[in-house]
Chains A and B, each alone.
Chain A
């Protein structure tokens, strides 16, 4: 089966660091996305990982371990505006080169940043 697990809710303090985990069990793997979604708004793309390791992009970093079926999103120097839901999504392998199959989405982690 296809399954993605994320914690439902997390709380952190302004200025701190928080790590949001995502584990997946899918029939094949061709990359993992992280999106941010503020309440009532559209999801927006944060990062994409396909190789093992850490990708850093400003205050946000994303890590992937393909052998463990595990990723995390690391948010540094938290700001109040980082209060949002963070969605993890996996791309299964395509049937031909360049064929991007439909994503498998996690339910999201709702992060509350407190002053």
Chain B
């Protein structure tokens, strides 16, 4: 079983719909992150959480919201999806400490028509 699980893996939806992407982890890490990846733009941080009561905006949080339901669960919502939110979305986790790498889920490919 994957240590960091994202659902769904693929989603096609229409403009204006509300979408939730879910992430769960069995690594016991406190820190969780949501990124989007677009060709030519690399990985961009949307939101991150260092523990259950901590939520922080990343560089591109407009149009997104998150919920940290438990240490193991971190969900990303698009309240009203728009086509330029079409991207590959990754959830990642890490343990505390500057030398600790981030561990990524397999990604969700989201297409908004």
* Chain A residues within CB distance 8 Å of chain B: 30-31, 33, 35, 40-45, 48, 50, 87, 91, 94, 98-103, 105-108
Contacts and interface: CB of A to CB of B under 8 A. Distances in A.
A103 B90 CA distance: 14
B101 A107 contact: no
Contacts of A91: 98
Interface of B: 31, 33, 40-45, 48, 58, 88, 90, 94, 96-107, 109
Given A100-B96, A102-B48, A107-B41, A42 B101 contact: no
B43 A100 contact: no
A91 B104 CA distance: 17
A102 B60 CA distance: 13
A40 B45 CA distance: 18
A98 B43 CA distance: 24
A113 to B, nearest CB: 21
A-B residue pairs, 4 tightest by C-beta:
A42-B104, A45-B101, A107-B42, A30-B98
Given A106-B42, A107-B42, A100 B100 contact: yes
A1 B109 CA distance: 31
Contacts of A99: 96, 98
Given A41-B106, A42-B106, A100-B31, A105 B100 contact: no
B58 A102 contact: yes
B43 A105 contact: yes
A102 B45 contact: yes
Given A100-B31, A102-B48, A107-B41, A48 B104 contact: no
Given A102-B45, A102-B48, A107-B40, A42 B90 contact: yes
Contacts of B33: 102
18 contacts: A40-B107, A41-B107, A42-B90, A42-B106, A42-B107, A44-B104, A50-B98, A87-B42, A91-B98, A100-B94, A100-B96, A100-B98, A101-B98, A102-B45, A102-B48, A103-B45, A107-B40, A107-B41
